[in-house]
Chain A
Amino acid sequence: MAEAAAGRVGERGRFEAWVVSSFNLVALSLVGLLAAHASGALEGELAGFGTLPGVAIFAYLWLLTAAATRWALADGGLADLRTGLRGLWRLVVRGFAAGALIGAAFLLGAILVGAVLNGAPLRSLAFIALIGVAAAAVVGGVVGGLSVLLDAGCYWVAGRLVERWAETGVSGRAADAE
């Protein structure tokens, strides 16, 4: 019985990590697309980009986001928000750390693949990579923290919807009973 309960919790954890990571990536991509289109940069950026590299980059980013989100939500997940500001703060810190990991790993992977494909000596790239990875970690951390705030807002709205519908259901049944 305990094993079955643990399995259910594990399945819910995987479900939560999957939907949260996918939403964050999709939302971030759409906001980025909107910004690029509004500024007129989309035309130029897409022109020099192949389909396969685009798909590979997106898949790599998705994989990193899913893994980092699973880690960030492992200790209680979004249900932590029920404990108020303390829970939110804990999630924001974890989101910052997960975002920093994603940013650093993403740039590091891109630099390594680029260096291997172009035959550039890795040692000469080490210094640039060090600075770049540090900057990407900071940017990723900020994006991760902001994403948690966005997720928390949506979680709150979902909670309000469920409560409102429950109240409507209860009052409807009470009226039927009378």
Chain B
Amino acid sequence: MSAATSLLVRLVHLVGMALVFGGAAFAWATLRTGGPGRAAAGGSTAPLGEPATLAATYEWVFWATMGAMVVTGVGNLGAVGPPGPSGRWGSVLTVKLLVVTAFVFGSFVRTLVVFRLRRGGPPGSGRSLLAKSYGATAAALLVVVALAEVLAHG
């Protein structure tokens, strides 16, 4: 892989992570601290209105970014030369892949929560559940970033 291609692959990977982490933190902050509908509906268990639109927009972007991050993650591994399964570096990669897989499954459940709420979830079920989901997403992404740092710098 040429240096320019390698740089582009890393750039897409980093921008992708910034996008999903920043988006999750923004969604969490918006849903937790207010936004349209909260004051009128009276609290953290308000029915969904605008929050559903915000969540759906995030989910569209999130899955597009996850696809891009998987392919650029493999590209990154190809550029540095993937380790074997044994050894410290190989073990860190195993842990990272396991954590990312678990994160992807959890994220799909979160997306389906958004989907079910948009299809007519019961009143009072939306905002606090989504705020917690996006808070958990941001927290899990921090763990993934920490693992990526260990993988990249030892």
| Chain A residues whose C-beta falls within 8 Å of the C-beta of B140 in the assembled complex | none
List CB contacts (< 8 Å) of A23-60 with chain B: 23, 25-27, 29-31, 33-34, 37-40, 42-43, 46-47, 49-52, 54-55, 58
- Given A34-B101, A172-B45; A42-B82 close (CB under 8 Å): yes
Task: State the main secondary structure of chain B at its contact with A.
Answer: helix
Does the CB pair B82–A158 fall under 8 Å? no
Report the Cα distance A156→B152, complex, angstroms: 37
Does the CB pair A15–B115 fall under 8 Å? yes
| Chain B residues whose C-beta falls within 8 Å of the C-beta of A31 in the assembled complex | 101
Mask: chain A, 96-113; 1 = CB below 8 Å from B; 0 = not = 000000000000000000
Does the CB pair B101–A158 fall under 8 Å? no
Does the CB pair B71–A54 fall under 8 Å? yes
Chain B contact-residue range equals 35 or more
A169 → B minimal CB distance (Å)? 3
Counting CB contacts under 8 A, is B35 at the interface?
Answer: no
17 contacts between A and B (CB under 8 A): A12-B119, A15-B56, A15-B60, A16-B115, A18-B60, A19-B59, A22-B63, A37-B82, A40-B85, A43-B81, A51-B75, A158-B113, A158-B116, A159-B116, A166-B121, A166-B125, A168-B45
Counting CB contacts under 8 A, is B54 at the interface?
Answer: no
Does the CB pair A15–B94 fall under 8 Å? no
B45, B56, B59, B108 interface centre (most CB from chain A within 10 Å): B108
Counting CB contacts under 8 A, is A173 at the interface?
Answer: yes
Does the CB pair B97–A23 fall under 8 Å? no
B18 → A minimal CB distance (Å)? 18
- Given A37-B85, A54-B75; A26-B104 close (CB under 8 Å): yes
Tell me the B residues contacting A by CB distance below 8 Å.
1, 5, 9, 45, 56, 59-60, 63-64, 66-67, 70-71, 74-75, 77-78, 81-85, 90, 93-94, 97-98, 100-101, 104-105, 107-113, 115-119, 121-122, 124-125, 128-129
Q: For A29, give the chain B residue with the smallest CB separation.
A: B70
* Other-chain residue from A25, A46, A161 in contact with B77 (beta carbon distance below 8 A): A46
Tell me the A residues contacting B by CB distance below 8 Å.
12, 15-16, 18-19, 22-23, 25-27, 29-31, 33-34, 37-40, 42-43, 46-47, 49-52, 54-55, 58, 62, 78-79, 151, 154-155, 157-159, 161-162, 165-166, 168-170, 172-173
Does the CB pair A19–B108 fall under 8 Å? yes
| Chain A residues whose C-beta falls within 8 Å of the C-beta of B117 in the assembled complex | 162
| Chain A residues whose C-beta falls within 8 Å of the C-beta of B129 in the assembled complex | 161-162, 165
A18, A37, A49 interface centre (most CB from chain B within 10 Å): A37
Does the CB pair A51–B101 fall under 8 Å? no
- Given A26-B70, A30-B97, A51-B1; A40-B84 close (CB under 8 Å): yes
* Other-chain residue from A39, A162, A169 in contact with B113 (beta carbon distance below 8 A): A162
B121 → A minimal CB distance (Å)? 5
Report the Cα distance A25→B66, complex, angstroms: 10
Q: For B86, give the chain A residue with the smallest CB separation.
A: A40
| Chain B residues whose C-beta falls within 8 Å of the C-beta of A34 in the assembled complex | 94, 97-98, 101
